[in-house]
Structure 1
Amino acid sequence: MMMKLGILVAVAVFLETVSAASLGVVYTEGGMVEGEQIRLGLFRSMDVFRGIPFADIPQRFQKPKRHPGWDGVLNTTEFRDRCLQVNRIMTHTRGSEDCLYLNIWVPHGSSVSTGMAVMVWIYGGGFLVGGSMSANFFHDYVYDGQEMADRGNVIVVTLGYRVGTLGFLSTGDSDLPGNFGLWDQQAAIAWVHRNIRSFGGDPDNITIFGESAGGASVGFQILTPHNKGMIRRAISQSGVVTCPWAFTKNPRRYAEEIALKVNCPTNESMAECLKMTDPVNLTMAGNISMVGSPDNPIMFNLLLSPVVDGDFLPDEPHKLFHNAAEIDYIAGVNDMDGFFFTYLDVPSINLAVVDTSVEDLKRLLASYVKDIDPKSLDNAYSTYTSNWGPNPNQETIKKTVVDVGTDFIFLVPTQAALYLHAANATTGRTYSYLFSQPNVSPFRQSWMGADHTDDVQYVFGKPFTTLLGCWPSHCNVSSYMINYWTNFAKTGDPTKGENVPTNWPEFTINHHYLEINSDMDEGYVRQQLRMSHVKFWASILPNLPLISE
């Protein structure tokens, strides 16, 4: 009996040992770091490093510099502050200027992992707000990388970068060139490339991915010549460089508005004054109105964004796709990505008891085309109402308003980016998707599809961590997205690897795209996404390629 007990104890000790693979103390270019080990089950564990500095505390309106390093072992078990920014309701600031840190999740089997694919996440927030971990619900952060790293068997990295005035204000010249937030992202990517081997990652297999402004940032990072050879693959979710809000051609005008708010001159001394202004005042000066109308869409208030600076972006984005010729690229949108924005402009679309007028649709279309080609309004209206019939009901009108916002703000620019990537690609592959899992909010209309950001929870496996239990449909679509995303990161082919419900062909094969939701099968491989609407906008919007069937 005692012998059997001894054997059982020995087996238990052995199993505990083999299931506890850990990196322990890791040597980086700045010094030694030690994170937290998490047990995930038999033969499965994870090391989590929170708050590793990838650059020094940034100097205001300057590029980030390498961190000077530290003595001893740096404890990296706590997330660090997000970068200084306005709060969600634009009344106060939060965060710190000391914010250039990243977080790493490294999964292990029975032995310590080596040579793993690496996925680097860039958050969204309109270049105005956001953080490496996003919102926190009962210590469950939206951008927690644990589920994706564990289920997809990849290393996940999240990073911080400057946003708002401190990250993207530009005078349009060398005095204050802008793009400081993009430089922060680039510094983090470069740090990962130099150091990730010590964490078990493959520096030659880095995928960057992001959503909204993070998706657009992904695009800028693969277009800049400063990342040459560091990025293997990229995924842009609901945001690309060709989006109308993602790039500013005349930053000087807005810089002067900011200067006047903080009592700086608008002459040759403006940049120097801005550099000496209190950072909280500067940040508050960059807040925006969240009240829109069909005549003044909220999207046009997003004026702090990347610019041509002759350095990070040597030319306009649509002219730089040759720099991504060897990078595999996925880009896509949610089927009602524009709902959030059009709801702010036309609130009646989300009120079942309030009608949305046809006039509101015309006014919104007029706002979108007025600075491009006002004469195209009639053509725009006929394009969106061609299948209405003589008496459209309210659901049809409301959905059409959302379609207009989705197409203009997200879908058409994303199709343009896909065409540009495919046209310039040499070895890089191009993939397109449409995410259509219906929004589950009790406050949304029954006809609602997937709104802006609805995809993010599934990519990060949030259905598997909810206290309410995992609904089968939510768990299914989350598994599909994690597998497609991590298969792509590991092989360049989203179909090759862990099980997925159907093959995902390349975009270049008859303009294929994959519609992603919990019911998907081979019938969800489709072609020529909203082609008539894409062709209409491409025919009048500057900097978009002419698109043919």
Structure 2
Amino acid sequence: MGSWVVIVICASLAVVVLKDVECQNIVYIDNGALQGATETVQGRRVDVFLGIPFAKPPVGDLRFRLPEPAENWEGVKDATAFGPACMQNLPNPFGFPDPETISEDCLTLNVFVPGSTNSSNNKAVMVWIYGGGYITGGTSTYSFKEFVLNGDVIVVSMNYRLNVFGFLSTGDDSVPGNIGLWDQIEALNWIKKNIQYFGGDPGRVTIFGESAGGSSATQLALANASSGLFQRLISQSGTTSAFWAVSENGPQLAVRMGSIVGCPTANTTALVDCLRTIEAEALLNASVKATIGLTGYFYIPSVDGIMLTKPISEMLSDPVVLERLHSLDFVTGILNGDGGILVLNKFSDGIDPLLFRDTLIPFWTKLEVGNNTDIINAITEFYYDKTATKLETARDFVDLGTDLLFTHPMFKFIESHLSEGGGSTYLYYFMRKPLYGNVMLGSPSWFQRASHGDDLHFMIGSHEPFVSRATFTEDEKYLSGMMIRYWANFAKTGNPNMPEPVPAIWEEYTVNKEHYLEFGDVIVGKRRVIPKRVKFWMKTVPRILARSN
């Protein structure tokens, strides 16, 4: 070290300690003083404030309760290191990078500021919600330093409670559910009150997320409790219309888990009081055991009558909910191999056509539409080819997985968002696989598409890549920079084409024109993405369901 230290008092009330590449600065927020760090990235300054508590530690009696605002502190709080991620099982089952530390005391957020922190900057704000199926994830694996410098926006990332700690539901007032979503809203409340001190505009907030982070963003868009906290949203490979984004099995899991750890299960109040006394690691292990023998997705959002007031399909036809949704600008999209998540570490030599027809299609279809024979037969006729090779069949399975888990739910949500005079709607289709390999580990060699999560490689960039082993070609760096520019333009104006110039005009998606932007070897505007598959899910399937009912 041994470098000279110079102290400068900034107009923004920040105290900056300058060294060779890094320095420290202080910002005063409602709760007290924060000491962050300043770094030089690619020759440019970025201020970073990490591990800021936005809620009280959700431990002891606060476990399973709604988040409470963070308490004030005396002195200067160190904000130069990420806080621990929320409790979760490691390693990450999806092949994403693991957080270094986990804790039940995890409700912190991070602020990335391009250039010098100055309360008069009034920059657009983007709020990142990580994915991980609502059971894993954390902010420490996402560095937004390159993003904020290239986009000239402020990015905030927040932790939220996961799995049983964030999504336990007893189906009644004891624990209605959706605690993790309430954590996200509490972070947004903190941002509305405090982001001005970092130079952010609380009236220009865009939430964005990938996978479960994307579905979280769309769930917040429907929730009355989030009204006025953001104006735009970006949903990357995930919407709340997906069957994996909402569940009804919470009460069953709560009882099963209580039995495993020896808690009384006849009364939900006594059950929850007991569960609050169980050591966190033991509770996490019991929550996994409670799912043995069950089929579906577990510890995810649920219809609680408060945040998600009724089933998603009904909320998307509620005039009050739609008025709120239509006021928001919206970007959404998928990857051409999002369904690759279903072939991780399996099917290395392809899939036998009969296995696809007789087992895989019925199993996955039932999760989406139940045991509807007419739908299963229609899906079989559309995706199954008895003359296909095992590799061709495997690729057909990826298409089916992409459409069941991502394409169909996305278009159902788009359909509800479109409105005359409402917020703008933009659609993208991502086809670029990272040259170094897929972000998710375990893809079979025959899989050569952009898989679920590969967009994160480009969104985070090359300075501190999302996956530490990742490398970037110059062409990939360019694509990364342009993706960030589109996202940041949208956050600033609601239009991804301005104010900064872009390589291809991204036209709004409308019912008649169906424009979308394709991120592939080149970035180009097109019309009618995967038209046959979209028509099947948005026209054919609803007709069959109508006949069945």
- Asked if TM exceeds 0.5, the reply is yes
1:194 has 2:196 as partner: no
Q: What is the CA distance between 1:454 and its match in structure 2? A: 0.7
Query: What letter is aligned with 1:306?
Result: P
Q: Secondary structure at 2:264's aligned position in 1?
A: coil
Given residue 377 of structure 2, which amino acid in structure 1 is its aligned partner? D
Contact 1:20 1:45 in 2 (8 A): no
Partner residue, 2:102: 95
Q: Does 1:399 align with 2:406?
A: no
Q: Which blocks of at least 5 consecutive residues in structure 1 are unaligned?
A: 1-15, 135-142
8 Å CA contact 1:457, 1:463 repeated in 2: no
Corresponding residue to 2:65 among 62, 65, 90: 62
Q: Distance in 2 between matches of 1:525 and 1:474?
A: 24
Q: 1:267-278, aligned counterparts within 5 Å?
A: 267-268=266-267, 269-278=270-279
Taking the aligned partners of 1:533 and 1:251, their CA distance within structure 2 comes to 32
Residues 126-165 of structure 1 correspond to what in structure 2 (within 5 A)?
126-134=133-141, 143-165=142-164
Name the counterpart of 1:316: 311
Could you tell me which of 399, 410, 424 is aligned with 2:406?
410
1:486 touches 1:494 (CA, 8 Å); kept in 2?
yes
Counterpart for residue 3 of structure 2: none
Within 2, Cα distance between the matches of 1:259 and 1:21?
A: 49
Equivalent position of 1:498 in the other structure: 500
Q: Which runs of 5+ in 2 are unaligned?
A: 1-16, 316-320
Relative to structure 1, the CA distance from residue 164 to residue 521 in structure 2 (aligned partners, 3 Å threshold; closer, same or farther) is same
Change (3 A) 1:356 1:516: same
Does residue 281 of the first structure (1) align with residue 282 of the second (2)? yes
Q: Residue type matched to 2:85 in 1?
A: R
Among 431, 435, 440, which residue is 1:436 paired with? 431
Please tell me whether residue 360 in structure 1 is matched to residue 355 in structure 2.
yes
Structure 1 residues 206 and 110 mapped into 2: Cα distance closer, same or farther (>3 Å)? Answer: closer
**1:69–1:542 CA distance, 2 compared to 1 (3 A):** farther
**Structure 1 segment 514-529 matched on structure 2, within 5 A:** 514-522=517-525, 524-527=526-529, 529=531
Pairing partner for 1:79 from 82, 93, 96: 82
Q: 1:83 to 1:447 in 2, by over 3 A?
A: closer
Query: CA 1:537–1:457 in 2, change beyond 3 Å: closer, same or farther?
Result: farther
Indicate how the Cα distance of structure 1 residues 30 and 464 shifts in structure 2: closer, same or farther if over 3 A, else same. closer
Q: Give the partner amino acid of 2:204.
A: N
Pairwise CA distance, 1:447: 4.9
Identity, in percent, stands at: 33
Residue 510 of structure 1 aligns with which residue? Answer: 513
| 2:53–2:109 CA contact under 8 A, matched in 1 | yes
Structure 1 residues 542 and 202, CA gap change in structure 2 (3 angstroms)? farther
1:81-480 to structure 2, matched below 5 A, reads: 81-88=84-91, 95-108=102-115, 114-134=121-141, 143-268=142-267, 269-287=270-288, 300-318=295-313, 319=315, 320-343=321-344, 347-348=346-347, 351=348, 354-362=349-357, 363-370=359-366, 371-385=370-384, 388=385, 391-423=387-419, 426-440=421-435, 441=437, 444-462=444-462, 470-480=472-482
CA displacement, residues 179-216 of structure 1 (integer Å, 9 cap, x when unaligned) = 11111111001101111011000000000101111111
Q: Structure 1 residues 19-28 or 305-314, which shifts more? A: 19-28
Give, in angstroms, the shift of residue 537 of structure 1. Answer: 7.3
Question: How far apart, CA to CA, are the structure 1 residues paired with 2:245 and 2:233?
Answer: 17
Query: Could you report, residue by residue, the CA deviation over 1:80-100 in whole angstroms, capped at 9, with x for unpaired residues?
Result: 11112221268x996111111
Matched length: 501
* Inter-partner Cα distance in structure 2 for 1:541 and 1:456: 37
What whole-Å deviation, never above 9, does each CA across 1:200-247 have from its counterpart, x for those lacking one?
A: 000000001011111111111111111111101101111110111100
Change (3 A) 1:45 1:439: closer
Q: Is the 8 A contact 1:236 1:330 kept in 2?
A: yes
Q: Which residue is 2:11 aligned to?
A: none
Kindly state the Cα deviation for residue 39 of structure 1 after the two structures are TM-superposed.
2.7
What RMSD over aligned residues (CA atoms) do the two structures have, in Å? Answer: 3.1
Report the counterpart of residue 13 of structure 1 in structure 2: none
Aligned partners of 1:337 and 1:450 also within 8 Å: yes
Structure 1 residues 453 and 328, CA gap change in structure 2 (3 angstroms): same
Residues 124 and 200 in structure 2, CA contact (< 8 A), matched pair in contact too: yes
Question: Which letter does structure 2 place at the counterpart of 1:402?
Answer: V
Distance in 2 (CA, whole Å) between partners of 1:201 and 1:170 is 36
What is the Cα deviation at residue 429 of structure 1? 1.0
Distance change in 2, residues 1:369/1:521 (3 Å): closer
- How far the C-alpha of 1:431 sits from its partner, in A, is 1.2
Instruction: Report the equivalent of 1:3.
Output: none
CA contact (8 A) 1:54 1:101 kept: yes
Aligned residue type for 1:324: L
Q: 1:435 to 1:468 in 2, by over 3 A?
A: closer
Secondary structure of 1:483's partner? Answer: helix
Q: Decide whether aligned partners of structure 1 residues 410 and 527 sit closer, same or farther in structure 2, where only a CA change above 3 A counts.
A: closer
Distance 1:381 1:507, change over 3 A: same
Letter paired with 2:115: H
CA change 1:467–1:305 in 2 (3 A) is closer
Give deviations 1:460-498, integer Å, cap 9, x for gaps.
Answer: 113786788630331122122111111111110111232
Q: Give 3-state SS (helix, strand or coil) of 1:521's partner.
A: strand
Point out the more displaced range, 453-462 or 92-101: 92-101
Residue identity opposite 2:165 in structure 1 = L
1:265 CA displacement: 2.9
Q: C-alpha separation between the residues in 2 aligned to 1:467 and 1:373? A: 45
Q: Following TM superposition, by how much is the alpha carbon of 1:540 offset from its aligned partner in structure 2, in angstroms?
A: 7.6
SS in structure 1 of the partner of residue 34 of structure 2: strand
